[in-house]
Chains A and B, each alone.
Chain A
Amino acid sequence: MGITLGTVMFIVGIVGLVTCLVLLYFMPKIFSKQKKKLLEEIQA
């Protein structure tokens, strides 16, 4: 049995899920830095 649609869906799903989890983990930190930087710019 070669690469089937089910396998592709499963792999893409897992990779996408892991990517999203990593993004969601780092997003707050990145966003916090962006907010801080912008506040500093605004207050400058």
Chain B
Amino acid sequence: MLKQISGTYEIIGKIGEGNSGEIYKAYNKNLRKEVVLKKIKTEIKDIVNNRSEVDVLKNLRHSCLPQVLDFFEMDGDVYTAMDYIPGKSFKQYLDSGTKFKEKHVITWAKQISATLEYLHRQIPPIIHSDLKPANIMLMPDGNICLIDFNISASLDGNSAWVTGYTSGYSAPEQIAALKYNQNELDQSRWKTIDARADIYSLGATLYHLMTGTKPKLEEDGTVADIRDSGTQINAVFAAIIMKCLEKEPSKRYQSARELMADLVNIGVKDERYRRLIRKQRMLYTVAVVLMVCFTGMAVMGYFRMGTEKRKAYEMLVRKEAECITTGDLESFEGFFQKAVRLDPVRLDAYYQKAIALNRQRQYGDAIEFINSEILGNEELLAQKEDLNNIYYVLGNSYDGQGDYQQAALCYEKAIEIRSDNSDYYRDYAISLAYGGNLQGAKAALEQAKKQKLNSIEINYVEGEILYNTQDYNGAQEIFLKCIEDASDDYIKMRAYIMAGKCIDGLGDTIENIDQKLQLFENARQELPVEYNIGVLEQLAQSYSQLAKATGEEGYSQKAVSVFEQIESQGMGSYDTSYNLAVLYQNMQDYDKAADILHRMLTDYGDNYRTYKSLAFLEVARQGRIDNSQRNYSPFQQYYQKAEELYQLQLQNNITDVEMDRLAELYQEAADLGWIQK
């Protein structure tokens, strides 16, 4: 046994016998560390003597390879010196019956693959050619180290000389090559092995580590399937091992890199993992599809909301119009508020309200509403193209108040926006005529004719112009013709009223009043509810006049019934109630008259006229009581209230001769001691 080599190495002891020869553990005095000395086989030492190839091995640097330190010759033998690797070989563990966990074997398989890949990509490639459990060390840190790779098998292009084999671990082609080469004298014809032989050996090693036994060869040279060995093994890892152990090199992994790729992806190729991936992809797809569906739903919902809002708004506006027809003002206000809340920038609801105020003859309210809520609203005012109807209603309101100049201005604005509406021209011409501008009225009429205004309406306007020139007979004739020819109820209504005014213009005779009665009774029968309000008022006034002229109570009762019809249609105003109270008073139904007057205070608030009527009513009532029973205190209260309110409104310079008469009655009562001032 060697004791010392070349003065550098001090032999510590023999640690084994390799295929190549003895293996010693030694101490390198220069490097001051333990090394392994291994004698190389005699048959190949000539090859090894080529220093350039040896230098390749000395330059190998890998965490799973022992550092090759030196080659030297001594006593005719060639030795290699390498790092000493602590730990035990896998063979030692296997021989002691150790069972390895699959996850550890996979980790070592990756390390060995990486190491083989490193060796195989050297230039020239280095083939281990003797990979087996005995040549793989398990170091104390849990990592592996490949030892004893047969350096002689490394030195010729991509293939290597075959110098030996280990049964059970060497590839079939390695065994066949060795047997052939042993009988072949011509070295140039020797067979070689490549990296795939190492792949086979690794497969066999892994097989042994997993099952505890070397791979069993079948008769056809293939290896018995590891899955049939009874060992619990991951299906993917089993497939990898069996692919390494393919008899044909072309069917194995073609490189350690390829093998490594599959080892790294064991988990990924596992059926459980694939199932999880499929499930996750499906869930993701479902989430994306749902997202698209919900987006679609939100978009559709958004547009549908717009449609529903529009329909709801239009329904509310229709309800408003119905309420105007039926006179249901309370419901009207509710619908109006809802519509405006729903869409504050649409004109339709506001327009209906303006119409409602106008129809109720609340002209002042209508004017204020239009000017402040519509024309004073920037967003509504911006909708200029739609304001023609608003200006028209405003014009009608001014017309109702008798402010024909303002009415004409409004009609003019309506015409500016919409120049093809005959109603606008008609009422424009009429307001000009009423305002005394007959030239303007005629000019407007000519414009209307150019716009091809309906001939009946033209006649009507001509009648209005004649009326304003006080040609009552001529005007009456035209209006009666209009009544006969007109199909438009609105024109008919206006023609009836104007015909009535023409009769007034001809004098207050009983015959004329009777003629007016006939006219308006016809109108009452002919006109629909929404257009008969003006006519009913004229009819009630005519009955009142006739009652006054003839003294017949029957006419008063007819007047009362007409006023009550007006109120029941929801078109009653202050004047309607006032006239009704006066009629009841004339009919000496003082209680009913008082009821109406007190209701007026509630409906229309304090008004000197109401208190004035209450005072007159009280005087009339007391006049029918015995002197001893009379009580003028209510009269005093009503008078004082009327006087107070009258004085306030005198700032507007509207004098009332009836208040003077009431003051006289008050003084008389005071003088007679009925009241204390």
From 295 to 322 in chain B, residues with beta carbon under 8 angstroms from any chain A beta carbon are 295-309, 312
Residue B106, interface by CB 8 Å? yes
Quick one: which of A16, A24, A38 contacts B267, CB cutoff 8 A?
A: A38
Q: Per-residue 0/1 for A1-35: is the Cβ within 8 Å of any B Cβ (1 yes, 0 no)?
A: 10011111111111111011101100100010011
Quick one: which of B297, B306, B309 contacts A12, CB cutoff 8 A?
A: B297
A19 to B297, CA, bound (A): 14
From 31 to 80 in chain B, residues with beta carbon under 8 angstroms from any chain A beta carbon are none
The answer to whether B305 and A7 touch across the interface, beta carbons within 8 angstroms, is: yes
Quick one: which of B266, B294, B300, B303 contacts A16, CB cutoff 8 A?
A: B294
The answer to whether A6 and B305 touch across the interface, beta carbons within 8 angstroms, is: yes
- Interface pick from B153-161, B275-283, B502-510, B643-651: B275-283
Question: Which of A9, A12, A21 has most B Cβ within 10 Å?
Answer: A9
| CB contact under 8 A between A24 and B288, given known A10-B302, A42-B267 | yes
Chain B residues with CB under 8 A of A43: 103, 106, 266-267
Q: Which residue of B lies closest to A40 (CB)?
A: B267
Q: Which residue of B lies closest to A15 (CB)?
A: B294
Quick one: which of B267, B284, B294 contacts A39, CB cutoff 8 A?
A: B267
The answer to whether A10 and B298 touch across the interface, beta carbons within 8 angstroms, is: yes
Q: Which residue of B lies closest to A14 (CB)?
A: B298
The answer to whether B301 and A12 touch across the interface, beta carbons within 8 angstroms, is: yes
Q: Which residue of B lies closest to A36 (CB)?
A: B267
Chain B residues with CB under 8 A of A15: 294
Chain A residues with CB under 8 A of B338: 1
The answer to whether B277 and A35 touch across the interface, beta carbons within 8 angstroms, is: yes
The answer to whether A9 and B298 touch across the interface, beta carbons within 8 angstroms, is: yes
| CB contact under 8 A between A11 and B294, given known A24-B284, A34-B280, A38-B267 | no
Number of chain A interface residues as a range: 20 to 34
A35 to B206, CA, bound (A): 26
A30 to B524, CA, bound (A): 82
Quick one: which of A4, A13, A20 contacts B299, CB cutoff 8 A?
A: A13
Chain B residues with CB under 8 A of A6: 301-308
A15 to B283, CA, bound (A): 19
Residue B268, interface by CB 8 Å? yes
State the Cβ distance, A33 to closest chain B Cβ, in Å: 11
Residue B258, interface by CB 8 Å? no
Chain B residues with CB under 8 A of A35: 273, 276-277, 280
The answer to whether B291 and A9 touch across the interface, beta carbons within 8 angstroms, is: no
The answer to whether B276 and A9 touch across the interface, beta carbons within 8 angstroms, is: no
The answer to whether A34 and B312 touch across the interface, beta carbons within 8 angstroms, is: no
State the Cβ distance, B337 to closest chain A Cβ, in Å: 13
Chain A residues with CB under 8 A of B295: 13, 17
Q: Per-residue 0/1 for B582-615: is the Cβ within 8 Å of any A Cβ (1 yes, 0 no)?
A: 0000000000000000000000000000000000
Residue B270, interface by CB 8 Å? yes
Nearest 7 CB-CB pairs, A to B? A13-B298, A9-B301, A10-B301, A6-B304, A16-B294, A13-B297, A20-B291
Selected A-B contacts with CB under 8 Å, 15 pairs: A6-B302, A6-B308, A7-B301, A7-B308, A9-B300, A10-B304, A12-B297, A16-B291, A17-B295, A31-B280, A35-B276, A38-B267, A42-B270, A43-B103, A43-B266
Report A's interface with B, CB cutoff 8 A.
Answer: 1, 4-17, 19-21, 23-24, 27, 31, 34-35, 38-39, 42-44
